[in-house]
Amino acid sequence: MGLGKIYTIVNQKGGVGKTTTAINLGSYLGFYGQRVLIVDIDPQANATSCLGIDKNTIQGGTYDVLIGAQPILTQILHNPRFKLSLLPASPALAGAEIELIEMENRGNRLHQVLDPIRNRYDYILVDCPPSLGLLTLNGLVAAQDGLLIPVQCEYLALEGLGQLTQTINRVKSSLFPNLSIRGVILTMYDGRTNLAADVASEVRGAFDSLVFETMIPRSIRLAEAPSYGMPISVFEPGSSGARAYRALAKELMAKDNVQVPIIQEAM
């Protein structure tokens, strides 16, 4: 097997669907037979909680891996039911921002720990915090195959994307010249409103072919699933949100020239 794709899901704006995309895209990639690892580098540990794990019980996880206290393979959790693996986060990760400042190669730590295990996975998805701090910088540098940027179809959706683009350009010039945007994902789309259509059109105008055709709708089921500790593929596979993330997984695999198997799907 070749090296797995490493995508970082990033947007410094909160509430745009980063974690929702990480766990549901990841789960559907697993549904289609891909070996998937989700890396939670957000001190809020939302990806960890959304997969049914109490973040306060995590003794090591991403924190220990980033500061070099534990080897990464000892910290990864596996969930065959959800068809993915997870490097969990805990509140202690907030301290890593401070500790990393004093460390050598502080912006490159995540890349250094993920690179040796790329051959074990087909996809590694890094879920970033809603900020442009040192943890997100690590996520950007680790994104060997590009960034996935969720943008919600709401007012002020493009606000902050300019700042993110500037940060990406700074990282390209100083740390990782090959950093690129793999795709922009339109989230929280409400087809009943002109605003959503206008925002989608504006985003497509700004990013052109980088925008995925699949749009993620506003969905009560998507909002409910995390409280049950499940991805939408398990919680409500027939819902509109599930159909959207299933389509997004297929679209990403097609872009990556990965053959999508024919599987009987819940509708």
Inter-CA distances, 246 with 77, 199, 226, 242, Å = 23, 23, 17, 6
What does the DSSP 8-state code read for residue 167?
H
pLDDT at 1 over 80: no
Q: Within a domain: residue 229?
A: yes
pLDDT for position 267: 44
CATH value at residue 247: 3.40.50.300
How does the average pLDDT of the chain come out, rounded?
A: 92
Q: Could you tell me the end-to-end alpha-carbon distance of the chain, in angstroms, rounded to an integer? A: 32
Give residue-wise pLDDT tens across range 213-229: 999 999 999 999 999 99
Q: What is the token pair recorded at 220? A: 């009560």
Give residue-wise pLDDT tens across range 51-110: 999 998 998 899 999 998 899 999 999 999 999 999 999 988 988 888 888 888 889 999
**Do 241 and 233 touch, CB atoms closer than 8 A?**
no
Tally the domains of the chain: 1
**Do 53 and 86 touch, CB atoms closer than 8 A?**
yes
User: What whole-number distance in Å separates Cα of residue 238 and Cα of residue 243?
Assistant: 7
Q: Within a domain: residue 38?
A: yes
Q: Within a domain: residue 235?
A: yes
Range of the domain at 156: 5-254
Q: Within a domain: residue 212?
A: yes
Q: Within a domain: residue 154?
A: yes
pLDDT for position 235: 97
Q: Within a domain: residue 259?
A: no
Give residue-wise pLDDT tens across range 73-83: 999 999 999 99
pLDDT for position 159: 76
Q: Within a domain: residue 264?
A: no
Lowest mean pLDDT among 20-24, 130-134, 250-254: 130-134
Q: Within a domain: residue 261?
A: no
Give residue-wise pLDDT tens across range 149-190: 999 988 777 777 778 888 899 999 988 999 999 999 999 999
